[in-house]
Amino acid sequence: MHLNATIIILIFATILDYLIGDPWGWLHPVQVMGWLISRYSNFVLSIFHTKTQRRCAGVILGLGLIISSGIVGWSINLIKYHLDPFLGIFLEIILLASCLAGRSLRLAAFDVLTPLREGNIDLARTKLSQYVGRDTVNLSPEEIWRATLETVSENAIDGVTAPLFYAIAGAFFPGGGSVALALAYKGASTLDSTVGYQQEPFKDIGWFSAKFEDLLTWIPCRLTVLTLAILSGKPLVVLSICRRDAPKDPSPNSGWSECIYAAILGVQLGGKNTYQGIVKEKPLLGEPINAITCQSIEKALSLTRICCLLWLGLGVTGLWLFS
């Protein structure tokens, strides 16, 4: 029961994310997490004013949301064994699919690329502003291509491969813990994207969440880089570029995530970005051999998809062998 159910959940959740993604208008776990984070953060900011108090509150927030998300996932797993196996499997497929953002990432990229290819640069800038933090009003077409590829390459890890990694890892737990681990990671990722930015007023509240998410993402990020390097057919070349450029980025993971795609595609990411009128220089990643085009972004999305399929195949095979 455990083996067959877990394999079914992994396969069908991946298919569901690819075909449907997040249906518009449906309540998403991330929305619930975001609401809880917002309410708690506003409460903490209103009553705590010292750095130590806010950091302690941030630790409680980080551990509380991650652990409770995992408990929710595990409770759905219990439904499968103690109430209704078909209902439990169905709910686990839905929840696990919600942790994967492959289709959402693809749709977001083409939401920007479609008007740009049609020559409507103003609409492309407006669409891009919904997905990135940088100022987009004055971006050139080339800068929009770059921003889109940077978004696709950075979010490929925390939105797609990392949750899949934890889902596969959880499948090897006695009784199955795919949804529990994937939801727990999704909690960490949501914390990082909401309060984890190192800026006020969330600098102290989000400090723990940002560091903990970096820690949780470290292994799946390196495995993704290694997998993509092998898929590129020139692993030594692309890994040497990554070792040279990725450590320049202050993030222990996003530099590697962006750099592996840049190295494989033969493009350069990074450079000047403007945030609320302030110009910031990001480290240059990769070599500017080719110009960034729509084809570059499509290839990046394909690489992510192939990486996930490979991991899924290895995970299912491993479950059969070690069951």
Q: Which alpha helices (H) appear in the chain, and where do they start and end?
A: 2-19, 29-47, 51-82, 85-99, 102-117, 121-129, 141-156, 162-171, 178-194, 207-232, 235-245, 254-265, 294-322
Interatomic CA distance for residues 309 and 314, integer angstroms: 9
Interatomic CA distance for residues 63 and 3, integer angstroms: 30
- Confidence category of residue 322, pLDDT binned at 50, 70, 90: confident
β-pairing verdict for 269-275 and 278-285? antiparallel
Token output for 141: 């077409």
| Integer CA distances (angstroms), 115 to 112, 141, 186, in order | 6, 11, 31
pLDDT, tens digit (0-9, with 9 covering 90-100), for 258-271: 999 999 999 999 99
pLDDT, tens digit (0-9, with 9 covering 90-100), for 140-185: 999 999 999 999 999 999 999 999 999 999 998 877 789 999 999 9
Reply yes or no on whether the pLDDT at 81 is more than 80: no
Reply yes or no on whether the pLDDT at 199 is more than 80: no
Token output for 52: 């130590």
**Range in 129-133, 144-148, 166-170, 274-278 with the lowest mean pLDDT:** 274-278
Query: Taking phi first (over 0 means left), then psi (-120 to 50 degrees means alpha), and beta for anything else, what does residue 173 get?
Result: beta
Reply yes or no on whether the pLDDT at 202 is more than 90: no
Residue length, the chain?
A: 323
Average the pLDDT over 107-135 and give the result: 93
Instruction: Note the pTM of the prediction, 2 decimals.
Output: 0.94
| Integer CA distances (angstroms), 298 to 70, 149, 272, in order | 33, 9, 24
Tell me if the bond preceding 201 is cis, omega within 30° of 0: yes
Average the pLDDT over 94-106 and give the result: 93
- What is the model's pLDDT at position 25? 67
Token output for 283: 């480290």
Average the pLDDT over 249-256 and give the result: 94
Interatomic CA distance for residues 306 and 171, integer angstroms: 21
| 3-class secondary structure, 25 | coil
Amino acid at 34: G
Reply yes or no on whether the pLDDT at 1 is more than 80: no
- What is the model's pLDDT at position 198? 66
Residue 137 main-chain phi, psi, to 5 deg: -60, -35
